[in-house]
Amino acid sequence: MGVVSLALSLAYLVLRRGERDRGVDLELAQSVSADFGARVEELLKPYLEAQPGVRVRVTYRPRAAEEGLSGARGAHLVLRPFEPAEADEVAPLFAADYAVLAYDRSRVAEPPASFPDLVTQALALKAKGDVAYGLALPEETHPLLPLFSDVFWPAAPQHEAKAAAKEVFALLGDLRFTYGLSPHACTSDCAARLLADGQVPFAVLGEWRIPELRRALGERLGLAPLPSLSRGGPPLRSVGRTYGVERAPALKDREASAADGVVAYLRGEGQRRVFAALGKLPLAEPPGAADGAAEAPAPELVEQERALHAPAASPDPASVRAADAALAPVWIEFADGRIGAEGAARALVENITAIHTDS
């Protein structure tokens, strides 16, 4: 009997040692674009090198953006947008999806504070023959949403929303049709390429374009908040999202411990690497920042932070999707010249009303 007991004990110890030797395999499901995974792996690299028994596989689960862990079944961790009320459940990581005014420093000494100032600078550069256009505006609507933030957030009475929308469409119409400063049918790929090739001094682009522009322009790239609609007017509100990492609640002991270690790293030491590895703005100060012990931030990080200093509209993801859906068909007709500012404003308000009624 004693021999059997000893054999069982030895077998148990061998199995436990085998488990330790195998380490822990975790899946981190990302809800951002599929080509983002390598950068997440780069962010985690120092932690994983210090924890050789922990391995993290990064996968792409688009449904996780809106459904969280339920949209990434089987994952131990999920990288997704989150709301302020969820801050206790999520390790805040970075800000994303906001629009910036990108400009060419070799042609622009100071970014314009207002769109009228931008028009003045762009017309002067175009008249000299330095550029083909003045401002590249993408056909995609998401980077344009801040221009319409007073229309969508907060919900205004219909007559006020229509007046605000008309002001924006009138400005965009002047840029494209009156002054010929904005190219027709230009996607965000086109807008980024025109700026990189020196064909425009300014471009309105989503922050996800910043890394490729840095590679193309180097120190010539300037970033600023979107200008106000009028001289002396209030700044446009940024429309972006914040991303963080959430741990699945029901994990086995060793998986839970390893996942908690990843989250702790991302909350602390990993914050130092967010900008360098991901090209994103970290949401939390790295360790030592409060007492001055942290390294001075890179100039590129400081400039990118300034570009996000506009007041945030902070809409929820469903509201942003609704705004995109309301604006997209109107923008297509307006950009083609089929409707003017008055008609576009009326159609946009009608779309907003219809969406609110359906919801």
Whole-number Å distance between alpha carbons of 291 and 287: 9
Average pLDDT, the chain: 85
How far is CA 209 from each of CA 140, 178, 233, rounded to the nearest angstrom? 13, 28, 27
Distance of CA 343 to the CA centre of its chain: 31
* Region(s) of the chain under CATH 3.40.190.10: 2-96+241-284, 99-239+301-358
- Give the position of tokens 């077998």: 11
**What are the pLDDT digits (tens) for 254-272?**
999 999 999 999 999 999 9
pTM above threshold 0.85? no
Q: What is the pLDDT of residue 284?
A: 72
Assign 222 a pLDDT band (cuts: 50, 70, 90).
very high
| Class of the CATH domain delimited by 99-239+301-358 | alpha beta
Q: What is the pLDDT of residue 176?
A: 92
Average pLDDT for 141-154? 86
**What are the pLDDT digits (tens) for 179-212?**
999 998 899 999 999 999 999 999 999 998 998 9
Judged against a pLDDT cut of 90, whether residue 339 lies above it is answered with: yes
**What are the pLDDT digits (tens) for 63-114?**
887 787 887 888 999 999 888 778 788 888 998 888 999 999 999 999 999 9
Rounded to 10 degrees, the C-alpha dihedral 287/293/299/301 comes to: 10
Assign 18 a pLDDT band (cuts: 50, 70, 90).
very low
How far is CA 38 from each of CA 160, 203, 207, rounded to the nearest angstrom? 46, 28, 18
**What are the pLDDT digits (tens) for 289-316?**
555 555 667 777 777 777 766 666 666 7
How is domain 2-96+241-284 classified at the CATH fold level?
D-Maltodextrin-Binding Protein; domain 2 (3.40.190)
What region does 181 belong to: left with phi over 0, alpha with psi -120 to 50, or beta?
alpha
Q: What is the pLDDT of residue 321?
A: 83
